[in-house]
Structure 1
């Protein structure tokens, strides 16, 4: 079983946000879509980071309510682990377990092509 089969089942749509958007916008989008992370992309769908619920909590702990007025780039995880549709479910689980995160962007030809979550992996 590989990432391609997961994406064929769930689709390749991904909620994204730009690095210069305010963290408050990211929080609204997370809540609106009932998701745990947004992939941070530049204009050509190149992944430049990921902002998760955990990143938001850390930013609020460090800066208080002022964090809401800061750009996503200040809260996001910039060193994002990525995978391709050719990664196996076992490889993805290993990456997530080692890195202690629950979302892994999928790239194709250097551009965002999907996302897999721990929930997607466990279902397989």
Structure 2
């Protein structure tokens, strides 16, 4: 990766995240942090409260594209370069199935409670 792209990705990661498809400043204290590394989400399951923010951190050497097509809880953070962090706010109660468009075997189960 070029120095220009690396610096651009670092600047973007430091200033932006995703909340229901809208870029917002990164929250200081997300309710949960999910790592992407080795084509896996860690942890594989989390539980958060409605309105909580989940931070997705790409700890891998290659890009990921985290998304959910769960009805009422859909999101797509787009291509996430190595080292980037992006936040998603979850409002719908129930189970949210999260995957990676680049690595279809990557799966994460988020349970959203009151």
Normalising by structure 1, we get a TM-score of: 0.29
User: Higher strand proportion, which one?
Assistant: 2
Normalising by structure 2, we get a TM-score of: 0.30
User: Higher helix proportion, which one?
Assistant: 1
